[in-house]
Chains A and B, each alone.
Chain A
Amino acid sequence: MYYRLPKIEYFRPKTLEEAVGLLEKVEGSKVIAGGTDILVDAKTSRVRVKALVDIGSIAELRGIEDLGGAIRIGAATKLQELLESSAVSENLPLLRAAVESMASWQIRNMATVGGNLCNASPAADTAPPLLAYDAELVVVGPGGSRTVPITKFFTGYRATALGRAEILKEIIVRKAEWTGWNYIKLGRRDGFTLSIVAVAVLARVRNGTVEDVRIALNSVAPTPVRAYGAEEMLRGREVSRGALERAAREVMDEVSPIDDVRSTAWFRREMSYRLTLDALTKALGAE
């Protein structure tokens, strides 16, 4: 009640068009979904907000759907809904594991997956799995709808490919056959905290050979990142301890961490190696 939240104009449109219209028209307006990021930022003046457009009542932004060849997740879907969805646990276990590591039940009941991506924190936990899945993001704005691959979505520190008055509508993940996955998050405490480093790994191994592998990390660069170099080193290779270690070492070179209150850059780099190695070991069945 007594926090420094400035006076904010508030809108709660029922349709996507209405929401886009408001964002276009109202100066200094921003989207609010669960508000678990933007209200904290408004309070500490990290983000200046004059007006908020609440997308929580827009039905088409909610829900999880199995489209047959892909899973569709509405941007305003709550994290807790993701955890409780069988479509997610059956098809996107890596995403589920990441969401499970996030915040608390209370926060997950407010926070949305779209908010986590659009907030574009380097520590966002849904980003590494969705990067690994090569998710597609459907964005709606004044100029209509377009699809952005998630690998092109994060453009810099807390910056995204969203243009003026654009809203993230949904996330599409194509189904693919993966034989292993793992999400490892290391924080200053065991739960309810942002990562020092987190690593997501997806893998398809056949007859001891890596057919495909995806490695993504957070908190090691201005944005969540894929470790393409390390992936390349493993693709087509036989699973061996040495190969995994070389790939994990490659990750250390690919990341560009900084010092902050959670960790030093040095430790983040060390942990990029360790967590990647651990996650690969598990996902590639090299134990």
Chain B
Amino acid sequence: MEAARLGISKLGGADTLCRGSDPVAARHFKVSSITFRGAVTAEDPRSVLRRWLEAETLLVVGRSIERADSLEKALGRARFVEDFLEEGYLVARLALARTPHARLKAVKCSPALRVSGVLRVLTHRDIPGENQVGYAIPDQPLLAEGKVRYYGEPVAVVVGRDPDAVNEAVDLIELEAEPLPTLLDPLEAMERRDVLVHDALDSNIAFRTRVRKGDVEEGFGKADVVVENTYRTHHQEHVYLEPEAALAIPDLENRITVLATIQYPHLGQKIVSRVLGLPASYVKVVAPYIGGGFGGKDDEGPLVAARAALAAYHLRRPVFLYYTREDSIQVHPKREAAVIRYKSGASRDGRLTAIEVTIVHDTGAYANRGPFILWRATMHSSGPYYVPNAKVDGYCVYTNKVPQGSFRGFGNPPVHFAVESQMDQLAEKLGMDPVEFRLINLLRPGNETLTGQVLESSVGIHEALRRLAASSGWRAKRQEYGQLRAGRFRRGIGVAVAWHGNSTSRGVPDWSNAYIHVARDGSVSVYTGIVEMGQGSPSSSHRQLVAEILGCPIDKIRIVFGTTDAPDSGATHASRGTSVGAIGIVVAAGRIRSRLESFLSEYYGVERDRVEMSRGQVFVDGEVRMSWEELVALAYSKGVDLSATGYFFLPKGTFNEEVGQGFAYPAFSFIAVVVEIEVDTCTGRVRVLEVHPALAIGKVVNPEAVKTQVEGAVLQGIGYALMERLVFSADGKIVNDNLTDYVIPTFHEVPAIRDAIFVEDLWEFGPFGAKGVGEMALIPMPAAIANAMSHALGARILELPATLERVYSIARQTCGG
């Protein structure tokens, strides 16, 4: 079988995942008496996951419980990094390069050092360990060394007693540098070899990807219609409410604790220890509450932590490093700007026959996570459709601009803008309805993806789109608005679907972990590295998982999040906080539950399945026997171990990079959105009126939390599609590095967002079958808006953002005002 060849495990087909009975699992759980072997089997991570995946009745999971952080945040008591600043701590800011490309001879610090209150200016020379922080490729220094590669690149850390001194001093840092020619256009940079952003390479191409599947020529030969276009997308800035900050505190034994705006404390620990040349055990990283991340603090977080730690290391005192909004916008990586050439063909019966795609990402001065972003974009470039023949080439290209980086959707919003625009145009040429055309091609269980991976289960997109078309009134509105294509204000309705692989790609290791400890009074501490940046996994879904599994009252559960004192749980990115990131919590809690059940069955002398733990009570044959607190006290006195970790290593397959075929991701989340808009053809103003989402994301652990993720992502998608745009000057400086000039949507732009349709296509390894959701709703938004615009205007936008001016220029011929 194809799947076997690719090394894909076929555990649990579609049927067994639908809560049916599985003889193997049943054997594990119907143990009549507790034996040592039985206990071990029951504690096997896969058994634990399967048991809860198949649980028949759920009391806490699947409900909208109140978040643990709501009151604290409403009252202003929640503490963010800056709130830990104490009198007498030193403060620091970054000095940034004011040139886009130059050979760096020296950093002139003396004028800055003469400012009263300034204590130290640290440059690359002061780094005791390695000045190397590139995530995908070792190409990036923590502080510029040898060369400056973008306007805004950090060159020094200025440390002083107060912000006034430091603010004055950063402007006085000058570079002794020899300017070099600047590359700003990725298409030009790809061709040039006379100017190199990284001298050690022989071109400006940092990374390439490719897919070769079937025979594209043959595929296009079979096509009755072919559509070919070039799409362009732009940089997007994250605009988290809280700009980057870190507080580094050295302790007596030369250890350093860093509080930082960071999405992966354990990665921060790794980077800090590398930069300082200390073992990781000497570095503790904590993320208190974070004011938004969206991926930006996954890239920049460890670097902020390392720069603060460097200062604390040298000054032996606590140092608070902060970015102003302008610093933040100039320095941290942005959503990739992309140029995508897309050719696709379909036969008269509505089947896709071939795609040929070239993706160029402007990765800026450093690769950062660019190669991973490009990889993801490449392997998703078909959209969630069955495509027999494909040729895809990806290029991640260096330029002298701010680096590209992680941002909600991670390569997928631009590529979906292209695919989903193509799908509408193919449908139009075929004379088919866009939904019908998609339904013919959408992946179903048992289908093969672009990379030849067979998806046996957890593929609910077909049902999601079918139900969405019905509930949104698609057919009638499509007809009605289409007939009204006249006058100044035009209505349009558009659809787009998207998929997004869960976990890291290919065989790149990914795991989950957590540590749970039940205290004698019955209170439960859960340690996880997952952070709380507003998304709500530690403050809601994690508590739900534990409460469901232990059957204890939910208010007994405290989640200690975002700390390297917890086992490494992986990053809070890639929509994984409640999915992959929480698997460890399920496993750890499941282990404790299983021990308590064994104990109870022995204690009452009954078979295990006659014991039930829920709602804070213990039942035998449905009768209450004791409370959770009594159970814990008893367990303590009888020698039951009530602490557990939950390590789980995700099984993966193999991948052939030469042809881009093989195992890409363990599971995919899916979404479909229908968007209704109104266009003022005389001003180019596009108003998004209504958004109808449908999600196939496995188990929905907390519907309210999913709703807030959808709402936030929809709005961020509207901003990205319609107004957000970084403007670069001729020397690569970001001109609009403030919130007057860089605009994001406000409440005025919030459309009516309908309740999402959920197709619970459970994922065998997800907590109770949950897949990721955080990024999903952003991915199809630009495409859906573009498709609705094309429906309204009969003309198409190929470049984002669809600013008033761009829309006006395609609509004005028909301006009926």
Write the residues of chain A forming the contact surface with B, with a CB cutoff of 8 angstroms.
Answer: 1-4, 6-7, 40, 44, 186, 188-194, 196, 261-264, 267, 270-271, 274-275, 277-278
Which of A2, A193, A194, A196 has the most B CB atoms < 10 Å from its CB? A2
Whether, in the assembled complex, B324 has its beta carbon less than 8 Å from a beta carbon of chain A, the answer is yes
Contact with A along B726-752 (1 / 0, CB 8 A): 010000000110101101011011000
- A-B pairs with beta carbons under 8 Å apart, 8 shown: A6-B164, A40-B740, A188-B723, A189-B745, A189-B746, A274-B682, A274-B683, A278-B817
Please measure, in the bound complex, the distance between the C-alpha atom of A236 and the C-alpha atom of B685, giving whole angstroms: 34
- How far apart are B96's CB and chain A's nearest CB, in angstroms? 13
Q: Verify A191–B748 contact, CB threshold 8 A.
A: yes
The answer to whether A261 touches B741, judged by C-beta atoms less than 8 angstroms apart, is yes
Report which of A4, A191, A262 forms a contact with B167, defined as CB distance below 8 A: A4
Please give the distance in Å from A275's CB to the nearest CB on chain B: 8
- Interface of B toward A, CB cutoff 8 Å: 91, 163-164, 167-168, 322, 324, 326, 682-683, 685, 687, 723, 727, 735-736, 738, 740-741, 743, 745-746, 748-749, 803-805, 808, 812, 817
Q: Which residues of B lie under 8 Å from residue A194 when comparing CB positions?
A: 740
B167 CB contacts on chain A under 8 angstroms: 2-4, 6
When distances are taken between beta carbons in the complex, the residues of chain B under 8 Å from A1 are 163
Bound-state CA distance A264–B806 (Å) is: 11
Query: For the complex, what is the distance from the CA of A188 to the CA of B727, rounded to whole Å?
Result: 14
Report the minimum CB–CB distance from A93 to chain B (whole Å): 22
Instruction: Tell me the bound Cα distance from A226 to B748 in angstroms.
Output: 30
Taking a contact as CB atoms under 8 Å apart, the answer to whether B683 and A271 are in contact is: yes
Q: Name the contact of B683 in the complex, choosing from A3, A186, A192, A193 (C-beta under 8 A).
A: A186
Query: A136–B164 Cα gap in the complex (Å)?
Result: 42
CB distance from B403 to the nearest CB of A (A): 22
> Are A192 and B748 neighbours in the complex by a CB distance under 8 Å?
yes
* Alpha-carbon separation in the docked complex, A277 to B682 (Å): 11
Rounded to whole Å, the gap between the CB of B654 and the closest CB of chain A is 48
Looking at the assembled complex, report how far the CB atom of A134 sits from the nearest CB atom of chain B, in whole angstroms.
29
Contact of B808 among A40, A191, A267 (CB under 8 A): A267
Check B324–A4 contact: CB distance below 8 A: yes
Closest residue of chain B to A187, judged by CB?
Answer: B743
Q: Report Cα–Cα, A44/B326, bound state, in Å.
A: 9
Complex Cα gap A84–B682 (Å): 33
Contacting pair A189 B735 (CB below 8 A): no
User: Across the interface, do B163 and A2 meet the contact criterion of CB distance under 8 Å?
Assistant: yes
Question: Shortest Cβ distance from B426 into chain A, in angstroms?
Answer: 32
Q: Which residues from chain B contact A40 at a C-beta distance below 8 Å?
A: 740
Query: Does A192 contact B804, Cβ atoms closer than 8 Å?
Result: no
> Are B749's CB and A190's CB within 8 A?
yes
- Give A104's nearest chain B residue, CB to CB: B746
**A241 to B604 CA separation, bound complex (whole angstroms):** 91
Cβ distance A184 to chain B, nearest Cβ, rounded Å: 9
Question: Are B735 and A261 within 8 A (Cβ)?
Answer: yes
Q: Which of chain B's residues have a CB closer than 8 A to the CB of A196?
A: 804
Q: Kindly state the separation between the CA atoms of A42 and B324 in the bound complex, as whole angstroms.
A: 14
Contact status A7-B164, CB under 8 Å: yes
Identity of the chain B residue whose Cβ is nearest the Cβ of A264 in the assembled complex: B805
Q: Is the CB of A189 within 8 A of B748?
A: yes
Q: How far is the CA of A32 from the CA of B443 in the complex (A)?
A: 63
Residues on A with C-beta less than 8 A from B682 are 274, 278
A2 to B324: give the CA distance in the assembly, Å. 7
B805 contacts across to A, CB distance below 8 A: 263-264, 267
Instruction: Report B490 CB to chain A, min CB distance, Å.
Output: 16
Query: Which residues of A lie under 8 Å from residue B735 when comparing CB positions?
Result: 261
Q: Which of B322, B727, B748, B804 is A261 in contact with, Cβ under 8 Å?
A: B727
Q: Is the beta-carbon distance between A262 and B683 smaller than 8 angstroms?
A: no
Q: Indicate if the CB atoms of B736 and A261 lie closer than 8 Å.
A: yes
Whether A188 pairs with B163 at a CB distance below 8 angstroms is no
| Complex: chain A residue closest to B727, CB-CB | A261
A193: which B residues are within 8 A, CB to CB?
A: 743
In the complex, chain A residues whose CB is within 8 Å of the CB of B745: 189
Looking across the interface, which residue of chain A has its beta carbon closest to that of B323?
A2
Q: Which of B735, B803, B805 has the most CB of A within 10 A?
A: B805
Are the CB atoms of B322 and A2 closer together than 8 Å?
Answer: yes
Residues of chain B contacted by A192 (CB below 8 angstroms): 746, 748
Complex Cα distance, B685 from A263, in Å, reads: 13
Inter-chain CA distance A243–B346, complex, in Å, is 53
A171–B509 CA distance with the chains assembled, in angstroms: 69
Q: CB-CB < 8 A to A6: which residues of B?
A: 164, 167-168
The residue of chain A having its C-beta at the shortest distance from the C-beta of B806 within the complex is: A267
Distance (Å) between the CB of B807 and the closest chain A CB? 11
Contact across chains for B749 and A189 when beta carbons are under 8 A apart: yes
Asked whether, in the complex, the Cβ of B683 is within 8 Å of the Cβ of A188, the reply is no
Closest to B724 in A: A188
Given contacts A4-B167, A261-B727, A263-B805, contact A191 B683 (CB under 8 A): no
